[in-house]
Chains A and B, each alone.
Chain A
Amino acid sequence: MLEIRSARKVFYKGQADEKVALDGLNLSLATGEFGVVIGSNGAGKSSMLNAISGALVLDSGQIVINGDDVTATPVHKRAMRLARVFQDPMRGTAASMTVAENMLLAELRSNKRTLRRGLNSRRLATYRERLSLLGLGLENRLDTRVELLSGGQRQSLSLIMAVGGEPELLLLDEHTAALDPRTADIVMQATIRAVEALKLTTLMVTHNMQHAVDFGHKVIMLDAGRVRLEIDGKEKAQTTVPDLIGHFSVKTDRMFLAS
């Protein structure tokens, strides 16, 4: 379960270019619920995800994960509870390390790291099995350095790494936006399979209105740092792309192109 209580964050406070990123944002997501976040650029989507992951320190307000207030917890400690896939495939993986080493790092996210050998044969076998689910042949490239993989392969790897430890919360930050349509589709399908199989509490930011309509239990629309609209249940099932676009105050070509 995730709860954001009256989160507020102002950038460049007191200066001419003061920007209110989060303006008393309230949001809650039940355990196992899949929320899709939409909103135009500058609506506060990234700030919200950064506040949840700990990369952004709030001016006021609280972040609560499964009943525990984590507002003051640093990023690396919050990582025990949540996993994140970034838009940029470069950010979620360690490029100069191998596929297996990246998988190891992800596995150790919620465990204590010891002075025992990291990559043992038992682990390698597990990784091979988990990567084979993607059907991209990554299971045969465990010793390949990640920088040699394509963007789609890297993003798929990031996804497998993120869902691996069954995190309490999964954050997807436009994670298919930087991929070509076919690869984006593969990654998106893999995401949905994993989220449904593991019943992960998930928050996905997207600019793709079709995805917002097709996937998830709930659509949350942000505007100027607060929740402007929440559609869930039956209403969500009947929503169409034009409906969603109609709610945007500023319409961009990108939305129409994506729909």
Chain B
Amino acid sequence: MDILQNTFASFVSLVPVTLAQSLILAFVVLGIMIPFRMLSFPDLTSEGAFPLGGCVCGVLMAAGMSPLAAIAIALVAGFLAGCCTAFIHLRFRIHTLLAGILMMTMLYSINLRIMGRSNLSVFGAPTVFDWAPGLQPGFPASKIVVAGLIALIVFFLLYHFFRTEKGTAVRAVGANPDMAEAQGINVWLATIGGVGLAGAFSAAGGALMVQSQGFADVNMGLGILINGLAALMIGEAIVGKQSVARQLAAPFVGAIVYYQLVSFCLAAGMPPPDLKLATGLFVLAMLALPSLKRSRGPAPARETVRE
């Protein structure tokens, strides 16, 4: 009983910190969801765009730029990274996943170039979290309020965008590109813009993360994609994906639940190095579930990439 109580107590004490972290990482999950679900463009750019946003933001903050401007520029950098991935896929007909791997590999060098070294402390520099009204800066509460507010604004903006005429057209590109083109939609523009937008969200997540933790690191994106995918799947399992609102809410709900789960596992004594294996196995199980349920008898020799 004692162990249980200890586990529970340390988990509860970590809830606010984890919540703040998950609200920030929800933007990365959003940056993974948009290409996957809205554009049918399985994309790995976020693994590079997340540290890119962090590095850009870190360097600019170290140079004394205002935290909001630093985030804005990180956003633009992430947008360009996403655009590049989409362009590589469209122009050279390279598979989206390979285009994403190319991009994130190249971004690693670019991130190192931007920072000039592998990590950079910006501790003590002003951050957007200082602006939370009536709260002491630097504590989880201010982070929860600021990140939560930004998340709400982003959610409503996206919700309205995807129901406008232009937004419906973007979704059509994901649903059936041939049909979209036959209905006069510029598939290139929609894909590049959409994947760019996703890159921008991933980078924004990275920038907020740097401001939250007080340092930037080129390796901060390691494994973020699988974490994000796991979060997305949990979110979709909870809120579903039948409508635009649900699909957009899934990344936020998923991120919050997933990181609390991780926190719980750690509190229960799981060694941190095993975390990636556990997450990977979880994603694998979620992906394998439909085929395990469906198929009796051998699977086809080759199948197109699922998800």
Binding site for B on A (CB under 8 A): 53, 75-77, 79-80, 83-84, 90-97, 101, 104-106, 108-110, 113-119
Cβ-defined contact, B171 with A92, below 8 A? no
> Is there an interface contact between A84 and B182, defined as CB atoms closer than 8 Å?
yes
* Chain B positions 179 through 194: 1 when the CB is less than 8 Å from some CB of chain A, otherwise 0: 1111111110000000
Interface presence of B163 (CB below 8 A): yes
Q: Give per-residue flags for B139-174: 1 if the beta carbon is below 8 A from chain A beta carbons, else 0.
A: 000000000000000000000110111111101100
**Would A109 and B183 count as touching, CB distance under 8 A?**
yes
Q: Is the CB of A119 within 8 A of B169?
A: no
Instruction: Collect the chain B residues with CB atoms within 8 Å of residue A116's CB.
Output: 164-165
Give chain B nearest CB distance to A34 CB in angstroms. 21
A54 to chain B, nearest CB (A): 9
For B167, B178, B183, which residue has the most chain A Cβ atoms within 10 angstroms?
B183
Interface residue? B175 (CB, 8 A): yes
Q: What chain B residues lie within 8 Å of A114 (beta carbons)?
A: 164-166
**Which residues of B from 203 to 232 have beta carbons under 8 Å from A?**
none
A164 to chain B, nearest CB (A): 11
Residues of A within 8 A of B160 (CB): 117
Known: A105-B169, A115-B165, A119-B163. A91 touches B176 (CB 8 A): yes
**Considering the chains assembled together, what is the distance between the CA atoms of A95 and B171 in angstroms?**
11
Instruction: Name the residue on B nearest A145 (C-beta).
Output: B242
Task: Report whether B183 and A106 are in contact in the complex, using a CB–CB cutoff of 8 Å.
Answer: yes
Which chain A positions have C-beta within 8 A of B178? 91
B165 contacts which chain A residues (CB < 8 A)?
A: 104, 108, 113-118
Q: Determine which of A84, A92, A118 lies in contact with B163 in the assembled complex, contact meaning CB atoms within 8 Å.
A: A118
Cβ B169 vs Cβ A79 within 8 A: no
Q: A115 to chain B: which residues have CB within 8 Å?
A: 161, 164-166
Q: Residues of B contacting A109 with CB < 8 Å?
A: 183-184
* A118:B164 contact, CB within 8 angstroms: yes
Q: Which of B171, B172, B176, B181 contacts A75 (CB 8 A)?
A: B181
Docked pose: A192 CA to B206 CA in angstroms: 58
Interface size band for B:
20 to 34
Report whether B176 and A94 are in contact in the complex, using a CB–CB cutoff of 8 Å: yes
Bound Cα distance from A84 to B181, whole angstroms: 11
- Contact A97-B181, Cβ < 8 Å, known A76-B186, A108-B165, A118-B163: no
A173 shortest CB reach to chain B, Å: 11
Q: Kindly list chain B residues whose C-beta atoms are within 8 Å of the C-beta of A96.
A: 175
Assess whether B169 is in contact with A117, with CB atoms less than 8 Å apart: no
Residues of B near A90 (CB, < 8 A) are 176
Looking at A76, A93, A114, the one whose CB has the most chain B CB atoms below 10 A away is A76
- With A94-B172, A97-B172 as contacts: A113 and B166 at CB distance below 8 Å: yes
Q: How far is the CA of A119 from the CA of B182 in the complex (A)?
A: 20
Q: Determine which residue in B160, B176, B186 has the highest number of CB atoms from chain A within 10 A of its CB, and name it.
A: B176
CB-based contact B179/A79 at 8 Å: no
Could you say which residues of chain B place their CB within 8 Å of the CB of A117? 160, 163-165
Chain B residues, Cβ within 8 Å of A76: 181, 184-187
Q: Is the CB of B184 within 8 A of A108?
A: yes
Beyond A92-B179, A93-B176, is A79–B167 a contact (Cβ under 8 Å)? no
Q: Judging by beta carbons under 8 Å apart, are B179 and A94 in contact? A: yes
In the complex, besides A109-B183, A119-B163, 4 extra interface pairs with C-beta distance below 8 angstroms are A79-B182, A79-B184, A93-B176, A105-B180
**Residues on B with beta carbons closer than 8 Å to the beta carbon of A101:** 168, 171-172
Closest residue on chain A to residue B40 by CB atoms: A96
Q: Which of A53, A84, A93, A94 has the most CB of B within 10 A?
A: A94
> What is the CA–CA distance of A110 and B182 in the complex, to the nearest angstrom?
11
Q: In the complex, are the beta carbons of B175 and A94 less than 8 A apart?
A: yes
Complex contact A80–B179 (CB within 8 A):
no
Shortest A184–chain B CB gap in Å is 21
Cα of A110 to Cα of B168 in the assembled complex, Å: 15
Q: Which 3 A-B pairs have the closest CB atoms?
A: A79-B184, A94-B175, A113-B165
Distance in angstroms between the alpha carbons of A92 and B180 in the assembled complex: 9
Q: How far is B180's CA from A52's CA once the two chains are assembled, in angstroms?
A: 17
- Please, could you name 23 A-B residue pairs with CB atoms under 8 Å apart, sorted by A? A79-B182, A79-B183, A84-B182, A90-B176, A91-B178, A97-B171, A101-B168, A101-B171, A105-B168, A105-B169, A105-B180, A108-B165, A109-B183, A110-B184, A113-B164, A113-B165, A114-B165, A114-B166, A115-B165, A116-B164, A117-B160, A117-B164, A117-B165
